[in-house]
Amino acid sequence: MSGHSKWKTIQHKKGLIDAKRGKIFSRLSKELMIAARQGGANPDSNITLRTIIAKAKAANMPGDNVDRAIKKGAGELEGTVMEEVVYEGFADGGVSLIVLAITDNKKRAAAEIRHIFNKYGKDLAAQNSVMRSFKRKGQIFVESSTVSEDKLMGIVLDAGAEDMRDVSGEFEIVTEPAAYTKVIEALEKANIKTSSSEITLLPDTYIPVSDKGLASSVLKFVGDLEDNDDVQNVYTNMDMSDEVMKELEKD
């Protein structure tokens, strides 16, 4: 788990998650539409939608924008049909990349993402050649200053979580996707706030990276992918050493 936690930290430190409000709102709108389409427009019965609504509120997304995206996804308003598409490949050092896009034009998205891979001298990989080394998991973070480890562990394990650990001032809780909703609901019932929560992809094994140049190259590659309007998330199995992460944080 440590590699993904480091990756999460460095994303924030290096600003790879675009801070421009318009882009954040666009991505959240797509997530809301997909969630409403798949699980319905009622957040009381759609935990994924409820989680995304919470993210939207935290980002100060206007309520009208949230409501409109949900209604579009549920088919209550006319709108563009959005589809999820996954692309796979490798960066330098054999680091795996999975690119999740939500797009209204799969041909355009594929062409643009292929262009980014080609820019770095890489090709898209065959379907499932990378994905088979990742597992879909629920991942929840709770600030360790807000609750004791023993109390939190008792709550989440009773609700079906499979792992919990303290990582860089936060408790990281990992669940099977089927148990994710129950764990979130247990935390809500206990009035324990999460700093982030999502269904994500975690690698079976990590590629250790102790070279600053290699880490920078991978981060730049990922940054260019994340700058694409259709790309929602980029998942990787890169595990930067603490020394490299500290060096990058200084830059």
42, two tokens? 């009622």
Architecture of domain 83-132+206-250: 2-Layer Sandwich (3.30)
Which residues make Cβ contacts (< 8 Å) with residue 61, sequence separation at least 6?
Answer: 24, 25, 28
Task: In whole angstroms, give the CA distance from residue 250 to residue 189.
Answer: 40
Residue 18's nearest CA partner among 30, 29, 26, 6 is 26
Q: What pLDDT score does 6 carry?
A: 52
Architecture of domain 133-203: 2-Layer Sandwich (3.30)
- Degrees (nearest 5) of the Cα angle 36, 40, 45? 115
Model confidence pLDDT, tens digit, residues 173-183: 999 999 998 99
pLDDT value at 82 more than 50? yes
Domain locations along the chain: 2-73, 83-132+206-250, 133-203
Q: What pLDDT score does 122 carry?
A: 96
pLDDT above 90 coverage of the chain, percent: 56
- Same topology between domain 2-73 and domain 133-203: no
pLDDT value at 7 more than 70? no
Residue 170: helix, strand or coil by DSSP?
strand
Q: Which residue has the higher pLDDT, 184 or 78?
A: 184
Record the pTM.
Answer: 0.80
Model confidence pLDDT, tens digit, residues 37-75: 889 999 999 988 998 998 888 888 999 999 999 999 888
- Degrees (nearest 5) of the Cα angle 96, 223, 143? 85
Average pLDDT, the chain: 87
* Domain 2-73, CATH: 1.10.10.200
154, two tokens? 């008792």
Backbone conformation region of residue 125, classed left if phi is above 0, alpha if psi is from -120 to 50, else beta: beta
Q: What pLDDT score does 1 carry?
A: 33
Sign, CA torsion 187/189/194/197: positive
Q: What pLDDT score does 120 carry?
A: 96
